[in-house]
Chains A and B, each alone.
Chain A
Amino acid sequence: MPPARRAPRRSATVPRVGTSSAWRWCRGLFSPPVQNGARERTLSALRAVAGDEGVCVGAALREQHGRDESVHRCRPPDVVVFPRCVEEVSALAKICHHHRLPIIPFGTGTGLEGGVGALKGGVCFSLRKMDQVLDLHQEDFDVTVEPGVTRKGLNSYLRDTGLWFPVDPGADASLCGMAATSASGTNAVRYGTMRENVLNLEVVLADGTVFCTAGRGRRPRKTSAGYNLTNLFVGSEGTLGLLTKATLRLYGLPESTVSAVCSFPSVQAAVDSTVQVLQAGVPIARIEFLDDVMIDACNRFNSLSYPIMPTLFLEFHGSSRSLEEQVTITEEITRENSGSDFSWAEDEETRAQLWKARHDAWYAALALRPGCKAYSTDVCVPLSRLPQIIVETKQDLITNNLTGPIAGHVGDGNFHCIMVLNPEDPEEVKRVHEFTERLARRALAMDGTCTGEHGVGLGKRALLREELGPLAMEVMQGLKATLDPKNLMNPGKVL
C-alpha cells in the first residue's frame, strides 16, 4: 500500500505527480519506431502473465475497447489485456505500475459518460473472461460475482432459486461495472441503487495490491465495522481501483406483477400523483414518466395510440391480494389528479405490450430524426422540485429548437432528456452542450445533482466541482492521491 499523503497544495487540479514526463514517456513507449525495444519488452511481460491470446494490439480490438455507448469519441488504448483471474489482474497491474502505464478497467462498454476512453493511452483491462458466479447463498440472499457476469446473466443463473438482482439500468451491463458507476434504474424507488446493494468488493489497486473492502468473504447484511470502503469504491468509475469481485444483495422475485399506464393533463398532475402514491405507502416497484413529446415518438415508432399527454408507467410487485390493494389505491390517486385512461394488466404478454412504449423509448427518440445520435442527460432533484425543473427544461428545449423527449424515474426525482442531435453539425452540438450545462446548473440550484445514475465520466468533471464545492473536492483528491499516487487508474475521469 502506498504511504498516506497530505492533500496537494494546488487544490483545483488533480495531483500530477511526475505526470507530464510520465505520459510523454508512455506515449513514446508505444509510438513506433522509436524505443521499440521497450515496447516489446513490456508486451512480453504482459504476455508472460496473460498468455499470448490475452494481450492484443490489433486496431479493431483496441477501438472496441476505447468507446462506450456515449457520444464521446473513441479513445483507444495502446493495448488490451484479458486477465483470467485476480492474480493475473494484480500481476498485470504491477507491470503497468512499474512502467507508469494508465490502467483502464473495461466491463461491457455500456456506460453513458465516456468512462472507458483511454485519454492518455495505456492498457485497457477487459475483465470479461472472469465470468463466474461464485458463492451463491440462497438463504442469506447474497451472491458473489466476477466482473464478466452481467445483470441478465446473473438473473438467468438465479431463475430456479426464486431470487433476483433487481437493479436494472436498462443495458445488460457487467455487475462490477454497475458497481463502479453506482448504477441505478427503473426499480430504484423500491429496491435501491448499487450503493444500497453491494455488500463487499474485491479491489485491485494500481500497484497490484489486492484486498476486500469489507474483509475477505464477509457478507453480513449490515455492519458498522470501520470506514465504509465498499461505498468508497462504488461509483469510483475505475479511478481508484479495479473491481474483480462484487458481493451483491439479492431479493425474492415478486409473486405477481401488475403493470399500469395512466395519462395526465400536466406534468404537475403526474408528479403530484407520484408523490401521493409514495406517501400512501404503496410499495411501488417502478414509476416512470414519459412527456408528451416522448409519447408521440413512441406512438409513431410502434404504431401505438397513447393519448399525447404526460404519462406515467407503473409497476407493482407483491402477492395477488397486495396487488389488488396497491392498484386500487393508485387508481384512486390518479383519478383525484385528473388522470385518465388508467389501464392495467397482470399477465406477462399484456404487461409487455403496455410497457412497450417505455421499453423502446430510446429507439423511438432516435427514430424522430433518422441518422442522428442520441445523448441522454441525467439530473436528479428532490421530488418537490421535479415539476418545476421539467417545465423549465421543456421551455428551454422549445426556445432553443432542440429535440429532447423526456423519460424519467419520477419516484427518485431523476429524469433524462434524450437529446437527438446530428453529431456532424458543430452548431447543434454546441447548442446541446450548452443546454445540458444549463440543465445541470438548474438541478444544482434546486438542491439536486448533475448526475443521478450515469456517473461523471469524462464530461461532467467541471459540474462535479460546482456540485461538491472546493473543500469536498479536496478531500476526494486526497483520497485519490492516497490510493493512486501515480494517477494511473483511468486518468482524466471524475476528478
Chain B
Amino acid sequence: MTARVLVGVKRVIDYAVKIRVKPDNTGVVTDGVKHSMNPFCEIAVEEAVRLKEKKLVQEVVAVSCGPQQVQETIRTALAMGADRGIHVEVSGKDYDSLGPLQVSKILAALAKKEEASLIILGKQAIDDDCNQTGQMTAALLDWPQGTFASELVIEGDKVKVVREIDGGLETIKLNMPVVVTADLRLNTPRYATLPNIMKAKKKKIANMKPGDLGVDMTSRVEVLRVDEPPQRQAGVKVESVEDLVSKLKEAGRI
C-alpha cells in the first residue's frame, strides 16, 4: 500500500469574483477580495481523499506556499479529508514573484523529505494559468508524470492515468513514484461540512520556510505590466446582406 500522497493547494482569488486591474497596472486588486482554493486543487484533494477512503493510500498531506492566509486553504483541504498540512511561509516580495519554478522546487524537496510516492496537483491555477508546476516537479524529481488526468487508478506499484488530450483520451501506465495533475472531469469535489471543519481544527499544520528546504526563491520572471482586455465596442446594425458584406470588406475582414 502506498504510504503518502502529497497534494499541493493554492490560494487564489475566488472564481466568482470580477477581477480588477490595479490603477498602477502592476497587478490585480487582491485586498479585501474573496479568496478560495483553486478549483483544480480541490479536485486534486478530492482524488487523494478518495484513494485514502479506498485504503490505497495511508496518508494525505496538503501543502501550500504563501503568507499566513494560506492556512485557511490548508484547513479546507483538511476539512475535505487530508490528514495533515504543511505551510511553507512565503511573503512579501518573494510571494509577489512566486511562480511554478519555486513551488516545484519546494514540492520536490518536500516529496523527498516526506517520502511521498504520489504527488497530485491541479493541472493549473486559475489566476496565472501557468500549467507548469506539475511538469516541473516531475522533472526535478525525475519522476514520470500523468498530466490532465480524467481518471487515476493505482495498480500495485504502477499508476494508470487516462489523460484528456486534444484528440480525445490517452491512457498511460506509469511506475510509481509519480506526479499526476488533475483535470476537470477527474471527480466532483465534496463540500467541507461543519463537523469536518470542526475536526480539521484539531489536525496539525507544520510551518517551515523555503530556506529550511534549501530552496532558492529567486524568480527568473519579472512582470512588466498588467492590462485589462480591451473594452468591448458597440455593435453596428446593418439593413441587408449587401450592407454586411461591404462593411466586412471595409474592415478588411474579407
Please list the residues of chain A having a beta carbon within 8 angstroms of any beta carbon in chain B. 153, 156-157, 159-164, 252-255, 319, 348-349
Contact = CB atoms under 8 A, between A and B. Distances in A.
Contacts of A348: 188, 190
B188 A349 contact: yes
Contact of B193 (A153, A157, A254, A349): A254
B197 A162 contact: yes
B37 interface: yes
Nearest to A253: B193
Contact of A162 (B14, B34, B36, B192): B192
Interface string B180-209: 000000001011111111000000000000
Given A163-B194, A255-B195, A349-B188, A157 B37 contact: no
B133 interface: no
B18 to A, nearest CB: 9
A159 B191 contact: yes
Interface string B233-249: 00000000000000000
Interface in B55-93: 72, 76, 79
A255 B190 CA distance: 10
Given A156-B16, A162-B79, A253 B191 contact: yes
Nearest to A319: B195
Nearest to B73: A160
Given A252-B193, A252-B194, A253-B194, A157 B188 contact: no
8 contacts: A153-B16, A157-B16, A157-B34, A161-B197, A162-B192, A162-B193, A253-B191, A253-B193
A162 B196 contact: yes
A82 to B, nearest CB: 15
Interface in B117-163: none
Contact of B192 (A160, A254, A349): A160
Contacts of B79: 162
Nearest to A133: B34
A255 B191 contact: no
A163 B194 CA distance: 7
Given A160-B36, A255-B195, A319-B195, 7 more contacts: A157-B16, A160-B37, A160-B192, A162-B196, A162-B197, A253-B191, A255-B193
A190 to B, nearest CB: 16
A302 to B, nearest CB: 19
A295 B37 CA distance: 40
The contact size tier of chain B is 10 to 19
A159 B192 CA distance: 7
Best-buried of A160, A162, A254 by chain B (most CB within 10 Å): A160
A162 to B, nearest CB: 4
B220 to A, nearest CB: 33
A253 B196 CA distance: 10
Interface in B1-50: 14, 16, 34, 36-37
Nearest to B18: A131
In the A-B complex, list the 8 residue pairs whose CB atoms are closest, starting with the nearest: A162-B194, A252-B194, A162-B197, A253-B193, A348-B188, A255-B193, A162-B193, A253-B191
A252 B195 CA distance: 9
A153 B190 CA distance: 17
Contacts of A254: 193
A58 to B, nearest CB: 11
Contacts of A162: 79, 191-197
Contacts of B191: 159, 162, 164, 253
Contacts of A160: 36-37, 72, 76, 192
Contacts of A255: 193, 195-196
A355 to B, nearest CB: 14
A255 B194 CA distance: 8
B170 to A, nearest CB: 22
A244 B195 CA distance: 33
B15 to A, nearest CB: 8
A349 B36 CA distance: 24
A214 B75 CA distance: 36
Nearest to A152: B16
Contacts of B195: 162, 252, 255, 319
B151 to A, nearest CB: 12
B89 to A, nearest CB: 21
A164 B193 CA distance: 10
Nearest to B192: A162
Contacts of A252: 193-195
A253 B80 CA distance: 13
A460 to B, nearest CB: 36
A252 B192 CA distance: 10
A162 B199 CA distance: 12
Nearest to A164: B191
Best-buried of B14, B72, B188, B191 by chain A (most CB within 10 Å): B191
B152 to A, nearest CB: 15
B37 to A, nearest CB: 7
Nearest to B79: A162
Contacts of A161: 192, 197
A205 B204 CA distance: 53
B46 to A, nearest CB: 10
A254 B37 CA distance: 21
A163 B196 CA distance: 12
A348 B34 CA distance: 27
Contacts of B16: 153, 156-157
Best-buried of B14, B188, B190, B197 by chain A (most CB within 10 Å): B197
A197 B85 CA distance: 37
A313 to B, nearest CB: 19
Contacts of B193: 162, 252-255
Contacts of B34: 157
A164 B197 CA distance: 14
A161 B34 CA distance: 13
B100 to A, nearest CB: 25
Contacts of A156: 16
A164 B37 CA distance: 18
A68 to B, nearest CB: 24
Interface string B81-116: 000000000000000000000000000000000000
Contacts of A164: 191
A319 B199 CA distance: 14
A156 B76 CA distance: 14
A163 to B, nearest CB: 7
B41 to A, nearest CB: 13
A253 B194 CA distance: 7
Nearest to A256: B193
A197 B193 CA distance: 20
